[in-house]
Structure 1
């Protein structure tokens, strides 16, 4: 009964939202939100090109993803700053499409793409609705409007053959439910939540990264191997961290592992400092030497300065694949003092020719900088001040 209730809820929710979009009650336009290449078949890409941490409560809205940064207390929360990782992922899709089009792999067929910037959960949801609008209009043509006026993807383009992304579980649940209603294949490169494996709710969702079930199993095997059975467990305050922490809590007692302290790491905000310090105090009070942090890198980054502030040293930190090797964490001043970090990671590989592609694309975008003739200038201009510095960072995670 619960499954049917959830399915009915998602169906009614998508019909209501699509009706409001087609009736222009909810205004969402993809223009300026990404990059488009025409082709016989279109692949949609959902990538976090900017960081946007602003919460919009009780309202389906999409603010521009290149807003100015907010400064909260002693730590800066960048809202609208370029996301280097997301940029390289987007470039990997463009590079792959170019390679296929220049190869004989698909003779007589040209691939295209529609890329969206999903800097927030609302952006991810509305980008998905924008992609589905042509299919919805095909099923329910507008009455009394001449049957036109659709804004889905780009004018004259085709419906998406498949969707690549999003980058996190939190951003994937709603798109997976919506796309599953039309059986549009969705392949995520970083969403690892085990709940997304439910084919009754998400029939067309696939991923190239192992689910968190595998990650929890690896963590427990590591703890048992080194006899680390008195631990603290932290989880980030999002779907990724909460579900991972819940799964580990259920499995740990079966292997004789005692969780002496457990806490949730909040996102950095004007009121989060007290909670962060309480978490660190809890770790110190229980005298644990091993801390499992099932957290996203963005939230864990906000927690690390408080660990350093309290002079927590000589601890063993068990990290998830998302933060244990992330440059976002490694670049924090003083992070090396917190102790030993042992993390779960995924296999890496180099893409031959990718570095040259990024350099060539950067040079091309700079030639058109400020010109309306360039299809990429609107997207690349805000990124140009650091693209050159990061152009050598070309190793992507391939799962």
Structure 2
């Protein structure tokens, strides 16, 4: 903050001073920033910002003298290679007759020394130029630079884009990944050839998701790069249901106490996978402490900023960092770059002091004394340019892993293609107001931004380069794995790729067999707060803990889960039920009273026995039809009663078996008609007994004329016909139909016959009950009639059994579930039928078969005479 304030006050002072001495026709440069740079002249100039030094040193401030400018220390060979890659790309373009054939590109490359203040100074120098005087007050002609490649860091890129974006100066960064830079409103002229942190985060999350690591730790740097990436990471994890076990900031000042705190959090956590989104400079002290504390058993996930850093590739890091997975910028190949780097020589141009610094660091040359201070003749000749010396086996000449340098190469070509497209514009068909084209002699930066947005080309390596509406390039990352090499150090191998496709989104492709795991099992570790819930269970979050910490509860009856870690069980469809493991819906068991089950067999047997008994009694009565006991009890009505009882027994068979439409329609109709025929026969028999008794008395001698054979048949027919009408109306209006009922027992489908109309069924039963009640009443009143064989007594007893059975039937039927309700109804039919058969015909069969001496008219009449 103090440095920024100092710069602002210094610039304000210079502006005030310049205003006081400004001539009316000339602008004068009031001072120069002390910057390390490399320059090459050309018709059009491209600017570049690179981290050629690691640190910026600020001299002590004194209010008595003018402050000394800051200077840089510790030369970064790899970043210097990036700067030289830009120089190589521009030279290659200048030699290309198809690209910018009439334009020579130049460059101004500056060192930002990994410091925001230095980067800002360099950017202002690129935008304003370094000429001492500027007399063109109309601002015509090309700007000092038409575009800038850089800055490689996110924070300086934000600051620079905020200022240069006001003038629409195109900036193409090769290494700034902060997702905040995709905001087109804030940064309208910012582009980049590296994927943003948003995609970097998605790529890492895809790896975590692939291996099922739902419980991971997060470490990030306290800068724009780390903060924005950490926010995106946590959001992406939340979207896929994964959890961040802890989130800690890596200390910038390498404070041992802060580092110990971070390690303590890692050791205390149950997470076995730790994601680190930070520059390598902050990861180094952390990993040094990991080695000192002998911390193993962790799977590290590296962001692109340190996934390929060579500082960790020593043997002592292998036991702790071996097996690390990381994502890295897409590797490319640049033909001819190696030879270009080998033949770099110092330049006498004082503006190219970056080359001088490189030579001093590489060979120990001292250009201030012409290299004469050295005693080695060969080095002396090299420093003075008298002899070539190959520069090999250094990070500067290593072109086997061109990642950031490859992005620099693409950034330069993107600007060149945009400028080429601008020059190809035909007047009258241009994209600007009035269909005008841009004028190369009076080029405006915003015009180049327009063409840069539409850039679309393919590099010599075969990669497609274009920008979306936010200025982001096609997203693609290599997945790296740290593996042991033959000398015990760490080697990095590419084991997969993550790219973003328009049709399918983020796609991860891994060669799992090629991955080295630094664990005893040689398999991926498990990193979960709770073990995955198996099939047939659901997740229940533990109160007060993240969503990844949960218990596994079994699904309820009728519910399943056919996938792991489901939050809610799925309810089975109506005709399905969950199996024993609760992982599949199987068809429900269909229940009905079957002929194969014991209950069905028993009831069928009883029905057939009852039918046989009826046939046997009918046979006995037929055999002894001329005997007094058969003739005295109205043999015609007896045979009709036996026939109706046989139908009652046989109708039971319609209630057993799988319900069909015809069985549902017939079972109650046959049942109702059979019982009405039976009860009406008994009713007529009772009325005949009463009529016979009355005709034996003087006052009732004409009673029998109303109860002749024809009247008896008509009475039975009319009473039965009424039931037939009731059944016909019921079946025609609301016929019973087969119905699958799952309300009794949810796990079973009860296949039953729906009655269709409650009113129709009630009328059928009510009519039977009415006839039974009348028969019972008449029989009860005639129970004491004087007769040796009193038919009324047996009818009374039979009707008492009948009414008792059906009165008990109603509550039993209502309370019985499923097929047992049908069994209750069958039991009532059988019980009442057996009751009528036994009560009415058993005494007669007893006399006919066992006491034939009592089967005489005299025996019957004796009882009658005695009673008189």
What's the secondary structure of 1:170's corresponding residue?
A: helix
| 1:324 Cα offset (Å) | 1.1
Pick the aligned partner of 1:100 from 87, 93, 106. 93
| 1:234 Cα offset (Å) | 0.5
Residue aligning to 1:69: none
Segments of structure 2 that go 5 or more residues without pairing to the other structure are 1-6, 19-28, 62-66, 365-390, 408-868
| 1:158 Cα offset (Å) | 5.5
Aligned: 1:380 with 2:358 = yes
TM-score norm. by structure 2 comes to 0.37
CA deviation profile, 1:32-58 (whole Å, cap 9, x unmatched): 520111110000010111011658999
Pick the aligned partner of 2:127 from 123, 127, 132. 132
Residue aligning to 1:34: 37
Pick the aligned partner of 1:313 from 260, 272, 296. 296
| 1:382 Cα offset (Å) | 3.6
Partners of 2:112 and 2:351 in 1: CA distance: 22
- Aligned length in residues: 350
| 1:124 Cα offset (Å) | 0.6
- Residues 372 and 128 of structure 1: CA distance in aligned 2, closer, same or farther (over 3 Å): closer
- Residues 222 and 24 of structure 1: CA distance in aligned 2, closer, same or farther (over 3 Å): farther
| 1:298 Cα offset (Å) | 1.9
CA deviation profile, 1:246-297 (whole Å, cap 9, x unmatched): 211222122222222211011244xx11101110111001132100111112
Conserved? CA contact 1:165–1:189, under 8 Å: yes
| 1:379 Cα offset (Å) | 3.6
What's the secondary structure of 2:71's corresponding residue?
A: coil
Conserved? CA contact 1:62–1:123, under 8 Å: no
Residue aligning to 1:63: 70
Please identify the structure whose Cα radius of gyration is greater. Answer: 2
Residue aligning to 1:220: 205
Task: Say which is worse superposed, 377-386 or 249-258, in terms of deviation.
Answer: 377-386
Partners of 2:256 and 2:183 in 1: CA distance: 37
Say what the alpha-carbon RMSD is for the aligned residues.
3.4
- Residues 158 and 203 of structure 1: CA distance in aligned 2, closer, same or farther (over 3 Å): closer
Conserved? CA contact 1:121–1:171, under 8 Å: yes
Partners of 1:284 and 1:316 in 2: CA distance: 13
What's the secondary structure of 1:322's corresponding residue?
A: coil
Pick the aligned partner of 1:114 from 90, 108, 115. 108
- Residues 276 and 121 of structure 1: CA distance in aligned 2, closer, same or farther (over 3 Å): same
- Residues 339 and 277 of structure 1: CA distance in aligned 2, closer, same or farther (over 3 Å): farther
Q: Could you say which structure has the higher helix fraction?
A: 2
Pick the aligned partner of 2:332 from 336, 349, 358. 349
| 1:178 Cα offset (Å) | 1.1
Aligned: 1:393 with 2:398 = yes
Conserved? CA contact 2:172–2:190, under 8 Å: yes
Residue aligning to 1:322: 305
- Residues 205 and 40 of structure 1: CA distance in aligned 2, closer, same or farther (over 3 Å): same
What's the secondary structure of 2:217's corresponding residue?
A: strand
Aligned: 1:299 with 2:277 = no
Conserved? CA contact 2:56–2:71, under 8 Å: no
Aligned: 1:52 with 2:55 = yes
Partners of 2:303 and 2:328 in 1: CA distance: 7
Conserved? CA contact 2:35–2:111, under 8 Å: no
Residue aligning to 1:168: 153
TM-score norm. by structure 1 comes to 0.78
Partners of 2:34 and 2:160 in 1: CA distance: 20
- Residues 147 and 295 of structure 1: CA distance in aligned 2, closer, same or farther (over 3 Å): closer
Conserved? CA contact 1:314–1:338, under 8 Å: no
Aligned: 1:273 with 2:278 = no
Residue aligning to 1:5: none
Segments of structure 1 that go 5 or more residues without pairing to the other structure are 1-13, 66-79, 138-144, 151-156
- Residues 225 and 45 of structure 1: CA distance in aligned 2, closer, same or farther (over 3 Å): same
What's the secondary structure of 1:52's corresponding residue?
A: strand
